[in-house]
Structure 1
């Protein structure tokens, strides 16, 4: 039995050898096997087709794997390039924004008599309404040194009033924003600069991000949408800085005055950098405004009263700042 099994294997081996030899000869153009249309050709053809099919599919499989690897590598490179391009776009956008800010400040420095605009970044914003102060990265070393004869207005790159310096140390300063209860400044209605009013922060309105103008005579023409600007009176803020827009007018009180609610022009949430105006000597009222104010004696008297209120308000809002500049109302 063992002998028969061995003979069977031997026969299979011999047949396989013969098939391989016939297949090789069938591939030779001038061989006898190739020229003879014998049953061997019909027998070998399916085997040859199977071998060709397996060979072709194997070749395609490995080509697919190689192409897939190339695509993965190319996709990774394109992704990295896309990230780099996005970063460059962001950098260019940031540079454009900074350029616009510098351009705006250059225009402001030409418009006003301030020689020095100190740029600063906001380091810390208020934690709550009770601690309503902003900390910036400029202090006494940058010339922000409070004294009895000097105040420091703070604006953004668009010339919108942010507030004023509250106190400073060697390397940092704190800003009192214009919505704070302790802030006040003399102002004009942009379209009607014949009389000055007091623009101030309010404890309750501060929670809504609003300010107010009180003691506006009932006969004063005032409309929602009117723009409010600094008057230049008081010796700290120059004339013409934007404070905000009237959004509501309260009814006339028992004393014959009305109150305007003002939405500040400054957007505290979007402001990351500010500019401090550091000059000591500024011109309080431009020539054209002074001419308008001095046209009538009655208007002169109202402005003088406003100047006295401004001086008293600025002295009491911060013990470290005392306004002693001579006012130029008449």
Structure 2
């Protein structure tokens, strides 16, 4: 095999020398002879094969050496894409939070006699929000037992336990919570308490309304402010159905709360009138 390779190399060298000699001989002639032309064609074919093979090998070698670079670039692109996706999620969450806070600003502008402390929810006290949840603010932030918790959508409940830097909030969905409520359209006063329907859905109900009350489906229920514990005008929910208790000579209604207790992420604690009234702290 080695002999054949050496022999082929000798033949190629001889052909190359012959071709160069012919070029030198025919450079000053207008036309090549038949022999010169034949040798030229042969040499060009042989050289073409060698040059073509050389460039293919070179290209293949370049591709192989670039594989590691391509792999590195792909990893960087994946990392960049992952970072961008995380930023989009964070940005989206920030926008939603700003929207929720802006609703609170609208409420506080109309109720500047109170100040408001924002707090994040960091855990549940039981199996669901109706059992209560913990927030990351407490006595050191000025929160006290009995203060009202709300969001920009409406009433959440009230604080029933306070630590130095944490508190427990009891939701309106809990049947132990009672709020002085008002039918916004008819101005009828009643008591709003938590209520769970047959499908275990957290709702509320307004009780102790007069039999003459004109309350109807779709009416808006808000806090009345009676007793001074809750600010007036906090939205509670809308009426789903009305019922009569003729034995007790009263009317009542089932309410769908405006706040979805299972989806709240932060609350605002309403602080009674003081020198900092109208301020929202977070």
TM range (shorter): 0.7 to 0.9
Q: Residues 38-49 of structure 1: matches in 2 within 5 Å?
A: 44=43, 46-49=45-48
Deviation at 1:24, TM superposition (A): 4.4
Separation in 2, partners of 1:33, 1:22: 16
- CA shift, 1:28, in A, is 6.6
Q: Which residue of 1 aligns with 2:168?
A: 174
Matches within 5 A, 1:183-198: 183-193=177-187, 195-198=188-191
Change (3 A) 1:279 1:106: same
Corresponding residue number in structure 1 for 2:255: 262
Q: Equivalent residue for 2:277?
A: none
1:214-225 matches, within 5 Å, as 214-225=207-218
Q: 1:228 matched to which residue of 2? A: 221
Aligned to 2:158, what secondary structure does the other structure show?
Answer: strand
Q: Partner residue of 1:59?
A: 58
Partners of 1:76 and 1:108 lie apart in 2 by: 49
1:244 and 2:243 are equivalent in the alignment? no
Find the residue that maps to 1:267 and give its secondary structure.
Answer: coil
Count of paired positions: 267
5+ residue gaps in structure 1?
1-8, 282-330
Task: Find the counterpart in structure 2 of residue 143 from structure 1.
Answer: 142
Q: Classify the secondary structure of the residue corresponding to 2:237.
A: strand
State the TM-score, normalized to the length of structure 2: 0.79
Question: Which deviations, in whole Å up to 9, do the C-alpha atoms of 1:283-308 show, x marking residues without a partner?
Answer: xxxxxxxxxxxxxxxxxxxxxxxxxx
Larger relative contact order (CA 8 Å, sep ≥ 6): 2
The structure in which a higher percent of residues are helix is: 1
Farther-moved stretch of structure 1 (259-268 vs 9-18): 9-18
Partner of residue 153, structure 1: 148
Q: Which has the higher strand share?
A: 2
Cα distance in 2 for residues equivalent to 1:40 and 1:71 = 46
Question: Aligned with 1:210: secondary structure?
Answer: strand
> How big is the shift at 1:175?
0.9
**Structure 1 position 124, deviation (Å):** 1.1
- Structure 2 segments unaligned to the other structure (5+ residues): 275-282
